[in-house]
Chains A and B, each alone.
Chain A
Amino acid sequence: MSFLLQPRHGSQLALALGLSVLLFVAFCLALLRLPPRVRRLVASGSSFLAGLFYVAEYVIPWNTTMTDLKPDVANIAAVVAALALLLGVTNLCRVNLQPLIHRRPGAFYSVVFFLGFAATLVTGVWSFHVPGNRQAGYLYQTILFESVFRSLGGTVFSLLAFYLVSAAYRAFRVRSAEATLMMVTACLVLLGQASLVTAWIPRDSAFYFLKVDWLQDWIMTVWNMAAQRAMVFGVAVGAIAMSLRLWLSLERGRFFEQEL
């Protein structure tokens, strides 16, 4: 097992990669030739075994061979995800190629996509294979990632400030008893953030409970926390139930019913 999992370099890496791809294609072809019932059994069996591995590793209270193998199993999942990334990129290219071929409006944006894609791919591969190359690293890290990508991401993120104001305005409109209660609570929490209003009340005063920052803390740590924890309990139980149905293939009809 350790022979299969140890890292490879150079020609050994190329050979291992080639063999893995061949094995993967052969496995997929063999799976497609199987009758649907057997295919379903293979899918259910493999998902059950994979789930059993993680459940057993978690429930057994001491470290076992499974604990040592956990990172390698995670690597297998990463390899499958990497193959899916190839599918995703192919789709992205196909979707952006169509406006160019049919000269549809908005084809300019597809040109921008292909230019950005090519620039990132070339500089990324270049800087990865020649780690000491300052030019490649500068182009990839400083120009494309920090100057272009991060700035664009920051611009979209900054939109949140405006959206927050318009959403808050709608949420705080007094239309019902519940909305009024929410508005009063929100005002108290907001005032609590800027506690100047009641800053003059001394800590040993009988009116300390009227201090806005104390009220804010009380609302957040008692009422809000209690409601959030109740919700988290429900969500966790729901996630366990859904995982159990998927693990035991009880929810088989939801995904790939026809295909399997």
Chain B
Amino acid sequence: MSHASPGAALLLALISGLVLAGIFSARRGRELYIRRIPGISAMEEAVGRATEMGRPIFFCAGLYGLKIETLQALAIASYLVRLSARYGTRMIVPVYDAAVFPIAREMLREAYQAEGHPELYNPNDVSYLSDRQFAYASACVGLMNREKVTTCFYFGGYYGESLILSEAGRQLGAVQVAGTPEVTQLPFFVASCDYTIMGEEFYATTAYLTREPVLLGSLVGQDRAKMVLLALVLLGSLLSLLLGANNPFSALFPGTG
């Protein structure tokens, strides 16, 4: 069984403290600014295009199962469902993991209800397809072709099927926006999608879209935590250069030298 080293535990506490401080400061009403991210701004346009064309929107929440990446993807889906419900546009959410399925279904139902259009909710729009990677990918491609989707969103964690999904969408001529923290799949999305939300921007998406103080404050806390990490990287590099690999700083983080 693995436990945190003293350095890792301290760092975890520091990052958590900075994020919480950001959240509480934003809750007290402090004005916060976030830079414009083109991919996120394009999401509303993409929903608008589907509305104009009268075709459904396709949203894929990734293949990570019930993990933090999928929950973030579902939070983004929740916003997009509200937006599409406002315009009366259907959103199809095929699910990879059975544990995610009831959460996605409730999320979709509540989003339609919150927008005052419970009649637009169709339980069949959230479907569990398969928990096998390529079976899921081929089922998604079939769904995209049958429904002739014009807008595709890919958020969450992906593996090798990312290119299969996004190239299928591209062949249909759909507007595609992707966002994943999975660094190895980013090049595929960049090559196939119109907009790609990269790495940490993925976690900033809900803050940018909803402008909720808790999320904005958390984002500011994250930026401060990254500055601390950068300072630690520089300090570690400097100490390694001056004192060698076995310095007191590296002893705090065993196994990283």
Stretch binding the partner chain, chosen from A6-14, A35-43, A160-168: A160-168
B152 at the interface (CB under 8 A from A): no
| Cβ proximity bits A129-161 to B, threshold 8 Å, 1 near / 0 not | 000000000000000000001001100110110
Q: Is the Cβ of A234 less than 8 Å from the Cβ of B226?
A: yes
Chain A residues contacting B101 (CB-CB under 8 Å) are 84, 87-88, 91
Complexed CA–CA distance, A164 and B185 (Å): 12
Q: What's the tally of chain A residues with a CB closer than 8 Å to chain B? A: 62
Q: Is the Cβ of B106 less than 8 Å from the Cβ of A85?
A: no
Complexed CA–CA distance, A161 and B210 (Å): 39
Chain B residues contacting A67 (CB-CB under 8 Å) are 1
B239 at the interface (CB under 8 A from A): no
Q: Is the Cβ of B19 less than 8 Å from the Cβ of A156?
A: no
Q: Is the Cβ of A61 less than 8 Å from the Cβ of B183?
A: no
B99 at the interface (CB under 8 A from A): yes
A86 CB, nearest partner CB in chain B, Å: 8
Q: Is the Cβ of B135 less than 8 Å from the Cβ of A235?
A: no
Chain A residues contacting B75 (CB-CB under 8 Å) are 251, 254-255
Chain A residues contacting B167 (CB-CB under 8 Å) are 163, 166-167
B208 at the interface (CB under 8 A from A): no
A258 at the interface (CB under 8 A from B): yes
B95 at the interface (CB under 8 A from A): yes
Q: Is the Cβ of B214 less than 8 Å from the Cβ of A167?
A: no
Complexed CA–CA distance, A167 and B191 (Å): 5
Q: Is the Cβ of B204 less than 8 Å from the Cβ of A61?
A: no
| Cβ proximity bits A211-248 to B, threshold 8 Å, 1 near / 0 not | 00000000000000000100111110111111111100
Q: Which of B68, B198, B219, B225 contacts A243 (CB 8 A)?
A: B68
Chain A residues contacting B9 (CB-CB under 8 Å) are 59, 61
Chain A residues contacting B212 (CB-CB under 8 Å) are 253
B161 CB, nearest partner CB in chain A, Å: 8
A58 at the interface (CB under 8 A from B): yes
Secondary structure class of chain A's binding surface, majority of residues: helix
B188 CB, nearest partner CB in chain A, Å: 6
Q: Which of B1, B4, B191 contacts A59 (CB 8 A)?
A: B4
Complexed CA–CA distance, A166 and B12 (Å): 43
Q: Is the Cβ of B1 less than 8 Å from the Cβ of A63?
A: yes
| Cβ proximity bits A46-61 to B, threshold 8 Å, 1 near / 0 not | 0000000000011111
A80 at the interface (CB under 8 A from B): yes
Q: Is the Cβ of A92 less than 8 Å from the Cβ of B129?
A: yes
B103 at the interface (CB under 8 A from A): yes
Q: Is the Cβ of A163 less than 8 Å from the Cβ of B203?
A: no
Q: Is the Cβ of A156 less than 8 Å from the Cβ of B128?
A: no
Q: Beyond A153-B133, A167-B163, is A240–B6 a contact (Cβ under 8 Å)?
A: no
Q: What's the tally of chain B residues with a CB closer than 8 Å to chain A? A: 71
Q: Is the Cβ of B214 less than 8 Å from the Cβ of A250?
A: yes
Complexed CA–CA distance, A253 and B206 (Å): 12
Q: Pick the most buried of A62, A245, A256: most chain B CB atoms within 10 A of its CB.
A: A245
B window 158-198: CB within 8 A of A = 160, 163-164, 167, 181, 183, 187-188, 190-192, 198
Q: Is the Cβ of B135 less than 8 Å from the Cβ of A152?
A: yes
A175 at the interface (CB under 8 A from B): no
B186 CB, nearest partner CB in chain A, Å: 8
Q: Which of B23, B128, B138 contacts A250 (CB 8 A)?
A: B23
Q: Is the Cβ of B71 less than 8 Å from the Cβ of A61?
A: no
Q: Is the Cβ of A240 less than 8 Å from the Cβ of B16?
A: yes
A204 at the interface (CB under 8 A from B): no
B116 at the interface (CB under 8 A from A): no
Which residue of chain B is the closest to A70 with respect to CB atoms?
B1
Complexed CA–CA distance, A129 and B80 (Å): 46
Which residues of A pack against B, CB within 8 Å? 57-63, 67, 70, 80-81, 84-89, 91-92, 94-95, 98, 106, 149, 152-153, 156-157, 159-160, 163-164, 166-168, 170-171, 228, 231-235, 237-246, 250-251, 253-259
Q: List 10 A-B contacts (CB under 8 A).
A: A59-B12, A61-B6, A63-B1, A86-B98, A92-B127, A95-B127, A237-B15, A241-B19, A242-B72, A255-B75
Which residues of B pack against A, CB within 8 Å? 1, 3-6, 9, 12, 15-16, 19-20, 23, 66, 68-69, 71-72, 74-75, 78, 95, 98-99, 101-103, 106-107, 110, 113-114, 124, 127-129, 131-135, 137-138, 146, 160, 163-164, 167, 181, 183, 187-188, 190-192, 198-200, 202-204, 206, 212, 214-215, 218-219, 221-222, 225-226, 229
8 closest Cβ pairs, A-B complex: A234-B200, A238-B203, A88-B98, A88-B128, A156-B134, A231-B199, A167-B191, A85-B98
